[in-house]
Amino acid sequence: MVSLVIVGTLSTQAYMALLRMACNSKAIPVFCEVPTDPGLYPFLDYPMYSKAYREGTTVPDYTLVAIFEDGTEKTLTPEDFGLSAYWFNTSLLPAFQAKQASEVSAYLADYEAAGNSPFVAFRFENTLLTITKAGVVTGAPEVFTSPLPLGDEE
């Protein structure tokens, strides 16, 4: 019984973590039906940070700024929305960048429910950082400002 547990645990982990790569490289096509992560969670593949980048790769630096009725401004943070940095970066910022009206509206409701003062517009800044052998080069920021609430057409 215990031996079955040992074999089952290790073979499942090895299957998910190592054989998928063989599958992806087409070296062992018989294994190409491996479920995609996290299909067998907590047994996972571990390809984190595995994509390679070359000289000239760019990294975006996003900034979301609230503009209040009196013209004052404030850079918004995950804490303002009661969100983790992960959700702020991977869900909220893309929603504001793409001006997704319903999601932005929901985030603003959370923002105001947390006792924060409502703002009438936001400014989204995207500065590209280019990595070169000589160092990191900061590009000119792409900026757009949008009044709130966002219209449906946005």
What does the binding site for another protein look like in residue numbers (CB under 8 A)?
A: 2-3, 5-6, 9-10, 13-14, 17-18, 21, 25, 37-55, 57, 59, 61-62, 83, 85-87, 89-92, 95, 102-103, 106-107, 110, 129, 131, 133, 135-136
Cis peptide before 38 (omega within 30 of 0): yes
Beta carbon nearer to another protein, 44 or 121: 44
Beta carbon nearer to another protein, 103 or 123: 103
Tokens of 128: 């590209």
Beta carbon nearer to another protein, 59 or 120: 59
Q: How far is CA 77 from CA 14, 42, 74, 96, 99, in A?
A: 40, 31, 9, 13, 18
* Cα atoms in the 13 Å half-sphere on the side-chain side of 27: 6
* Least separation in angstroms between CB 79 and another protein: 11
CB 149 within 8 A of CB 101: yes
* Least separation in angstroms between CB 18 and another protein: 6
* Least separation in angstroms between CB 60 and another protein: 8
Total residues found in the chain within this entry: 154
Among candidate residues 125, 126, 135, the one with its CA nearest the CA of residue 56: 135
* Least separation in angstroms between CB 146 and another protein: 17
* Least separation in angstroms between CB 70 and another protein: 27
- Say how many Å lie between the first and final Cα of the chain, rounded: 59
Beta carbon nearer to another protein, 32 or 59: 59
Beta carbon nearer to another protein, 48 or 140: 48
Q: 3-class DSSP state for residue 77?
A: coil
Q: 3-class DSSP state for residue 46?
A: coil
